Structure 1
């Protein structure tokens, strides 16, 4: 007894089956989180080490290299990259998507701890953070005040706001831009130091002696015990100015005699401003693969409390909320879901023209769709754009099986069977056809489920949702729908008025198709040149389609990266950013808010960023792309600056710069220096590219100090004395810590600004010989000026330079990658290797993954069909229609000027399962007709004609179901559009072509089927089973 027989005979059981499915789906829905896309950000761990005053070469050799050497042994690393800049080492460890974040972070911490003993003794301890340093924040706040200093504003952000936000589950870090953390700066006067016979080392030694806070033990009485503590800490500028350094002729020399102490900022080389007004930005950065919407919801619950806890003179505002776009895009897809449901119901009613019959497939839709929520809950998925798009596509699919059951049962009622007999016989006849079509469609998504990397993670949830919904729909069709046919379908003595009016049209359509099919069968040999022609078009047009990872979306956000000349100071860069901001405000009326950040995250002082937030798309006339092109052209007027506008990526949370990142890897810095200039020159001439630049540059001016060791030895001065003196006078060196308002801050000492302007100032610095005499550095060292790298970059342990750029209008990322590949073949020597980074790397990996997925999907569908038909030939008949669908998809993408991206590619793979459904129905019924005694030719014509109406109904239900996606215009509409266009175009082309190609191929390739006497007797016994 089949499932259909059981459900038809026991209707309450069928209803209970459906009710349980819906119940579990509703329960699962309540536990699902919401995010924009599935979790596709790889686990990234960042190791940051600061060493104030150290050059990039020192940072690279003494800090970055030892830590990298230790970290490289951790399993699962995909990319290991690093930046060694002045005073700072930043190592970015990107793991494979399958690696657990917590385990990865722990492994890196262990390796960093091992490498710690290899680092210089006075370096700050490395910090390990579970976040990408370039990750985009989901919420960005600003804090400012008309009456308070930037120091007070930064302190308020650090003390009040950061602790409240940092504890939100899923938050990786709270970054404070423009942070001016308090520090006590000891600014020394070189001339007064020399006059009083004091060296910078004397000042540091005095601070170590006089600035102490030590436990002294305890007092033990008969009944009580008291702790003892020695407090000799300095905490105010006045106290530091009274610091005793040494005695001179019976007179104490204090800090005030040789300099001054002032309460200032720890970091004087970075800042944030709005049109020149300093402010502080607070960015909430999530951990990779966390629920951004849930984090934002919790943030807003705490936001009001934060505002109330701030003094009235401070003003905090939300600068940008990334989840606003996410919420809008989710809402757009939910609206699309309802529209698709309405369109599918209309097409079903238009073909059936009977409300009782329409109820059967319509009821199957919500039951199957709701079941997906329980599947998502079991798999740990979320409600996101792709899972909802999967549900929209499923609306047109989950009714197919119910329609096939309905049509077959209805045909038997019209032939005179009772509803019970018709339900039993009709569901038995198409039982295996329904299973075959369902398994074929579900099998298409099996390769996607097992794909690794970005592609697999991105579309795993999509594939499981569609496949799960379709599998449930087959169960519903063979149980609930079959049972409903028994009770809802009744024999009609007289057709209704709508059916009487429209039936002639459907009869004419069926007869016209039959006549055209018979005409085509007379020249059926034409099927082979026709298929060759379509296949040739697919190859030709497919190679001409632009390629990109994903279409850019209008997120109302543009970032302008600014680089001043390499020798520019912080003040020069800040003024330049202010000028850029004023030009943007005067020339781009769509700007809602803009902020400038100089030397972000401890970067070079000649770099900055202008973050532009636009009004929402519905509130402006121009698109983000049009504004971006205006900025690209207009900002070229700042000829002393290198300016690179960038738009946020569609997929992933990194927002580091240009979309095209091409890496040159060399064994040595010298080899890289030889290869880089000709490569940049050739790349700059390519018409596809603009804003071509390299991160590695030899344009930083440096003064190298060389010690005269013989002279130093004569005077009893060690190399350590000289090096430490230079550190203390020129290097923002930390002298210690002081406590203010219960918090610990740094004490930083160096020469005052007027005494460290040029190399000649080295003459004013002295060290003490072993005889106690002061010796000028002029007598101990030689200095020379040269040009060195501003930073040293490494990519997978090789010295590297990353070539970045964007594409000219009309070109895509794929064009840019091909252009640089051609340049590399022309100009690079054999010892230079190339690789891709960022979005370009994801594009390359996704293209190879998609090719593998497409081939594997074809193979799996073929094996499923071979098992179903018990033939290795019949599946070929069906799968040969796949190129026809590709022709329709490629033509639709070309006509709409769409690109071949990760979304359109997944639509093309999905077509394998969609278009085979029509072929399965024709071949399955043709085989039955052959067993009934018809010839191959007669059998396939009868099968195609008999299945014409359900094929048209199911195909148009799928096409109309996907049309709202193809016509998407709202948030994240571009990505959905490309997927919808590929599916709609492919289905439209394949539906009409398969109605002719499958019968023709069947007549050539299928074998004759005549049942043996034993098979005939068994079939008769099955068909004659009593219908109780």
Structure 2
């Protein structure tokens, strides 16, 4: 191999190459984004339409169903789901992974644009948005002050949010609060009737009386002048003095004569407070690909500057800060990496007792990592939990190639060669071997490139991070290591003898003991083989005990909990109940800050951050910030359980917690979800009620409920078409008149100091807030007369759903539950047991599916399963190419099952489940576990080619390679040890991966020393007998 020769001969050039890598690597590192997870772009487009005051069933028929059919015809659509609630239709269009979402979103907009004219006139234009992890707020504040919410919101929007949006990396700074200014024109029905005026006259007068119009141009004295008519309202008196008609005597009738004009707040069913004070909420989100930590730092620095100019009573209370959590998690991950590297270097010094090789490896590790940063930067990845985890995993493996090269250089020095020759030959001789060994590790990640879905997106960054670092370590081992060795080992004769003496700590005692143990194993092959098979079978038997889940739940330092009172409960009563629960939450010593949101309007449902907000006056959501993990004794899930025990019980009130990890990853809010499909909501409710009863007492399952658990009281207006037609009215005209009278209609906009506010016209409260008043609503007919509503419609009490969920254009109810103290797989198995026979009991056209996190988990295990099988196959093919043999690679493949013994035992000891992190670790082991066996078999074959007898070749090959085998294995084991025993925020994701590698490498290293030589002798014996029989 020429690369080591070049490195030794051109040491200055090699040093310059190393410096270039360091400089470029440092620059790349400074430009890498920092995030918690990879920059995921879910193949999902949302279509949100609002229709103020409309019931879920009306919106389903008028908006949701038609739009589902429209978007379902777009190319590449995989699934269409929708949630229809009061005033809002939200449709989620899921595409195949890999779809270009920019084009997909534009296709959806184009299709909807063609249908938009058929939607109700009062409905908003459908809003089409792409889902991206970057939309989740980086920082979430509550702003409080000794002033009105309207004034406070203006301060936050004008003096804070706009300055934030000018910062590099900030996508949006969004505010919302319970109070929004509005100009309300309260019409007196009796006064209107006394003048013989219709409600529409007030609307029309305000629309026509508030506008500026261009009136052309005027040329005078060789100059052009623009002529404009100014008719815009300049004060509320202008609104009051707008003429709406005239009396029989010709006297004008003003708005003030028939209505009260008030500068007030928009009617809302929402209360927001933080630490008991009314608050304006401010959320800052970053641009896709921006460095979350840097964005958070810049925003907080800018806020400190802004605070100097704000009134002293305005205070910012932080509810959530992703940037702080990300910095905490990444620091912990980086700490496990350098701790692992330090342990690996210390082990090498312990084995060799020489500072020179230890220094070489101490340089090789950071140089390999810095080189990896270059690859990550140009590949477009960020530094996140997975890529940093990959680097932490690779630390122990980075030194393997360098150890093999240095050990071979030692051998040549022992033979008396000078340092230059030893460095050149030592690296060249093992160059192809360590290249093949590196390839067997890297090749296991190749199938991950073809993995699709969330699993593929999550694993790809970690896989490439490890692969890049191993390629970098191979380059360093073949260039930097021999170049440094040729300098550091080139000393006086006395130093050369000292080097030989230190490496002459030749492991003689350990080798002799190992040789005797191996001789015994070769004489008792059946015991070794069947004993190993027995332990392996036991480990497989223990797998169900481990439990399964998609991803470990991470302590994010934030809780999201909801309260649902009976449908129809007023905002005031919900607030009373929530206040009592809020006091329990705030009394916990682990709680740092509490934000409460009760109720929501249709506009807020459509426009908020989608952060689990309530959907009506009977619902509330708590956002609870916890103290840092080092300042509290309980985890976030344990805090929830303690709160749950102390929450006062109210009849019909449900208290639930939400899975923050699943929500932040774009998954289901509940781990367990059973989907019931059918046409009739009443029948679905009946089935769901029975299923809830079945599942209530499943161990570990909490908050069991279904999405249609309650109906909302309504009044239904049954319009008599024949009666309406006699007055020249259509159904749509009657409905529009009722809606305008009760909800009001925005007639125009009032402008003041650069801001615009709605001017809403409606009847006074006494003319619209009782059923008798509704029946008496006046309706203008085309004939010029006015009739009351009860002349064309019958008002009847009824009930309706508060939310309608649809899946691929079929109605669906979801029975959901949270998990406490058990694994997801175990709970779902119990759920499936309770559901036995349900399919046979369902009516025709009704069916059931299991979704939620369990669906994600099963997809993940299927993906990882075929990735593992493909990885094993590719490892075998690489080894077959290296050995030019099909038999010897087959023997080496026996090391892979040996890993499972240690993996299962390690997971049991540390209390981890089988999950995504463990699956990645097992795939990685498929490439790492074979390396030691490759070294042993390769050297044994070499001895046999030199004429040595089989048994002696096996013994000599295994004993000679004992030190490099132990060195490479133990450095990798120690490299992942800090990750395996890690604690604190983010360790929930790292530890299972570290334990998998720690346990797997430990068992396979020990068993490889005996099982592989025994299997080799067995196969060779069979071949020898066949050859003898043939002869």
Q: Report the TM-score, using the length of structure 1 for normalisation.
A: 0.92
Q: Count residues in correspondence.
A: 1007
Conservation of the 8 A alpha-carbon contact between 1:134 and 1:654: no
Instruction: Tell me the secondary structure at the aligned position of residue 793 of structure 1.
Output: strand
Specify whether residues 20 and 145 from structure 1 end up closer, same or farther in structure 2 by C-alpha distance, changes over 3 A only. Answer: closer
Q: Say which is worse superposed, 460-469 or 96-105, in terms of deviation.
A: 96-105
Matched residue, 2:612: none
1:678 equivalenced with 2:679 (yes/no): no
Instruction: Find the aligned partners of 2:759 and 2:659 in 1 and give their Cα distance.
Output: 41
Match of 2:860 among 839, 846, 850: 846
1:963 equivalenced with 2:959 (yes/no): no
Conservation of the 8 A alpha-carbon contact between 1:70 and 1:114: no
Instruction: Tell me the secondary structure at the aligned position of residue 892 of structure 2.
Output: helix
Matched residue, 1:1023: none
Match of 2:621 among 600, 604, 609: 609
Specify whether residues 986 and 194 from structure 1 end up closer, same or farther in structure 2 by C-alpha distance, changes over 3 A only. Answer: same
Conservation of the 8 A alpha-carbon contact between 2:490 and 2:496: no
Instruction: Find the aligned partners of 1:637 and 1:503 in 2 and give their Cα distance.
Output: 75
Note the C-alpha offset of 1:991: 0.6
Q: Say which is worse superposed, 307-316 or 371-380, in terms of deviation.
A: 307-316
Matched residue, 1:234: 233
Instruction: Tell me the secondary structure at the aligned position of residue 837 of structure 2.
Output: helix
Instruction: Find the aligned partners of 1:739 and 1:566 in 2 and give their Cα distance.
Output: 38
Match of 1:779 among 786, 791, 813: 791
Matched residue, 1:924: 938
Matched residue, 2:291: 291
Alignment of 1:243-258 (within 5 A): 243-250=242-249, 252-258=252-258
Specify whether residues 389 and 719 from structure 1 end up closer, same or farther in structure 2 by C-alpha distance, changes over 3 A only. Answer: closer
Matched residue, 1:569: 570
Note the C-alpha offset of 1:256: 3.6
Q: Say which is worse superposed, 351-360 or 912-921, in terms of deviation.
A: 351-360
Conservation of the 8 A alpha-carbon contact between 2:447 and 2:870: yes
Note the C-alpha offset of 1:882: 0.8
Match of 2:963 among 949, 971, 976: 949
Note the C-alpha offset of 1:194: 4.5
Post-superposition CA distance 1:815-857 (Å, at most 9, x none): 3444444455532436345556664443232222111211111
Q: Say which is worse superposed, 777-786 or 339-348, in terms of deviation.
A: 777-786
Instruction: Find the aligned partners of 1:719 and 1:228 in 2 and give their Cα distance.
Output: 44
1:57 equivalenced with 2:23 (yes/no): no
Instruction: Find the aligned partners of 1:803 and 1:133 in 2 and give their Cα distance.
Output: 27
1:154 equivalenced with 2:153 (yes/no): yes
Note the C-alpha offset of 1:393: 1.9
Post-superposition CA distance 1:201-253 (Å, at most 9, x none): 33323333434433333333242333333333335444333343334454654
Q: Say which is worse superposed, 971-980 or 31-40, in terms of deviation.
A: 31-40
Post-superposition CA distance 1:159-207 (Å, at most 9, x none): 3333333454554543323253322122234454455544433332333
Instruction: Find the aligned partners of 1:21 and 1:467 in 2 and give their Cα distance.
Output: 17
Instruction: Find the aligned partners of 1:208 and 1:484 in 2 and give their Cα distance.
Output: 84
Instruction: Tell me the secondary structure at the aligned position of residue 748 of structure 1.
Output: strand
1:996 equivalenced with 2:997 (yes/no): no
Specify whether residues 513 and 378 from structure 1 end up closer, same or farther in structure 2 by C-alpha distance, changes over 3 A only. Answer: same
Instruction: Find the aligned partners of 1:714 and 1:479 in 2 and give their Cα distance.
Output: 96
Instruction: Tell me the secondary structure at the aligned position of residue 757 of structure 1.
Output: coil
Note the C-alpha offset of 1:394: 1.7
1:221 equivalenced with 2:220 (yes/no): yes
Instruction: Find the aligned partners of 1:137 and 1:630 in 2 and give their Cα distance.
Output: 28
Conservation of the 8 A alpha-carbon contact between 2:189 and 2:767: yes
Instruction: Find the aligned partners of 2:215 and 2:261 in 1 and give their Cα distance.
Output: 29
Note the C-alpha offset of 1:955: 0.9
Post-superposition CA distance 1:852-882 (Å, at most 9, x none): 2111110110110011111111111111111
Alignment of 1:617-656 (within 5 A): 617-635=629-647, 637-649=649-661, 652-654=664-666
Matched residue, 1:360: 360
Specify whether residues 20 and 177 from structure 1 end up closer, same or farther in structure 2 by C-alpha distance, changes over 3 A only. Answer: same
Q: Say which is worse superposed, 569-578 or 893-902, in terms of deviation.
A: 569-578
Match of 1:689 among 695, 701, 707: 701
Instruction: Tell me the secondary structure at the aligned position of residue 227 of structure 1.
Output: strand
Matched residue, 2:838: 827
Specify whether residues 289 and 93 from structure 1 end up closer, same or farther in structure 2 by C-alpha distance, changes over 3 A only. Answer: farther
Conservation of the 8 A alpha-carbon contact between 1:56 and 1:84: yes
1:597 equivalenced with 2:609 (yes/no): no
Instruction: Tell me the secondary structure at the aligned position of residue 37 of structure 1.
Output: coil
Post-superposition CA distance 1:863-914 (Å, at most 9, x none): 1001111111111111111111111011100111111121122112111122
Note the C-alpha offset of 1:475: 2.6
Match of 1:788 among 766, 791, 800: 800
Conservation of the 8 A alpha-carbon contact between 1:135 and 1:653: no
Instruction: Find the aligned partners of 1:687 and 1:343 in 2 and give their Cα distance.
Output: 43
Alignment of 1:477-488 (within 5 A): 477-488=477-488
1:738 equivalenced with 2:739 (yes/no): no
Matched residue, 1:1016: none
Instruction: Find the aligned partners of 1:290 and 1:71 in 2 and give their Cα distance.
Output: 31
Conservation of the 8 A alpha-carbon contact between 1:41 and 1:652: no
Matched residue, 2:326: 326
Q: Report the TM-score, using the length of structure 2 for normalisation.
A: 0.91
Instruction: Find the aligned partners of 1:975 and 1:391 in 2 and give their Cα distance.
Output: 14
Note the C-alpha offset of 1:309: 4.7
Instruction: Find the aligned partners of 2:121 and 2:561 in 1 and give their Cα distance.
Output: 39
Post-superposition CA distance 1:640-692 (Å, at most 9, x none): 42111234207845487434344333356466345333233323232231101
Conservation of the 8 A alpha-carbon contact between 2:719 and 2:731: yes
Q: Say which is worse superposed, 920-929 or 465-474, in terms of deviation.
A: 465-474
Alignment of 1:541-552 (within 5 A): 541-552=542-553
Instruction: Find the aligned partners of 1:659 and 1:288 in 2 and give their Cα distance.
Output: 28
Q: Say which is worse superposed, 223-232 or 939-948, in terms of deviation.
A: 223-232
Note the C-alpha offset of 1:987: 0.8
Instruction: Tell me the secondary structure at the aligned position of residue 399 of structure 1.
Output: helix
Matched residue, 1:703: 715
Match of 2:725 among 713, 717, 720: 713
Conservation of the 8 A alpha-carbon contact between 2:903 and 2:995: yes
Specify whether residues 132 and 120 from structure 1 end up closer, same or farther in structure 2 by C-alpha distance, changes over 3 A only. Answer: farther
Conservation of the 8 A alpha-carbon contact between 2:933 and 2:1008: yes
Matched residue, 2:911: 897
Instruction: Find the aligned partners of 2:441 and 2:429 in 1 and give their Cα distance.
Output: 20
Instruction: Tell me the secondary structure at the aligned position of residue 511 of structure 2.
Output: helix
Post-superposition CA distance 1:567-614 (Å, at most 9, x none): 1223333333323222322x3122221111123533222222111112
Instruction: Tell me the secondary structure at the aligned position of residue 128 of structure 2.
Output: strand
Ranges in structure 2 where 5+ consecutive residues have no aligned partner: 606-614, 1025-1031
Instruction: Tell me the secondary structure at the aligned position of residue 846 of structure 1.
Output: helix
Instruction: Find the aligned partners of 2:763 and 2:894 in 1 and give their Cα distance.
Output: 80
Instruction: Find the aligned partners of 1:77 and 1:849 in 2 and give their Cα distance.
Output: 21
Backbone CA RMSD of aligned residues: 3.0
1:208 equivalenced with 2:207 (yes/no): yes
Matched residue, 2:541: 540
Q: Say which is worse superposed, 35-44 or 874-883, in terms of deviation.
A: 35-44
Give runs of ≥4 in structure 1 deviating > 6 Å.
490-505, 1007-1010
Instruction: Find the aligned partners of 2:504 and 2:219 in 1 and give their Cα distance.
Output: 107
Instruction: Tell me the secondary structure at the aligned position of residue 929 of structure 2.
Output: helix
Instruction: Find the aligned partners of 2:676 and 2:536 in 1 and give their Cα distance.
Output: 38
Instruction: Find the aligned partners of 1:175 and 1:825 in 2 and give their Cα distance.
Output: 48
Specify whether residues 894 and 589 from structure 1 end up closer, same or farther in structure 2 by C-alpha distance, changes over 3 A only. Answer: same
Instruction: Tell me the secondary structure at the aligned position of residue 218 of structure 2.
Output: strand
Instruction: Find the aligned partners of 2:263 and 2:640 in 1 and give their Cα distance.
Output: 42
Post-superposition CA distance 1:427-476 (Å, at most 9, x none): 45433321221111111111223322222222212111211221222232
Note the C-alpha offset of 1:990: 0.9
Matched residue, 1:1025: none
Instruction: Tell me the secondary structure at the aligned position of residue 42 of structure 2.
Output: coil
Instruction: Find the aligned partners of 1:493 and 1:739 in 2 and give their Cα distance.
Output: 92
Conservation of the 8 A alpha-carbon contact between 2:352 and 2:503: no
1:519 equivalenced with 2:523 (yes/no): no
Alignment of 1:756-771 (within 5 A): 756-769=768-781
Specify whether residues 935 and 667 from structure 1 end up closer, same or farther in structure 2 by C-alpha distance, changes over 3 A only. Answer: farther
Q: Say which is worse superposed, 613-622 or 223-232, in terms of deviation.
A: 223-232
Note the C-alpha offset of 1:79: 4.3
Specify whether residues 93 and 329 from structure 1 end up closer, same or farther in structure 2 by C-alpha distance, changes over 3 A only. Answer: same
Post-superposition CA distance 1:468-491 (Å, at most 9, x none): 221222232233323444444479
Q: Say which is worse superposed, 468-477 or 188-197, in terms of deviation.
A: 188-197
Instruction: Tell me the secondary structure at the aligned position of residue 507 of structure 2.
Output: helix
Alignment of 1:490-501 (within 5 A): none
Instruction: Find the aligned partners of 2:412 and 2:598 in 1 and give their Cα distance.
Output: 78
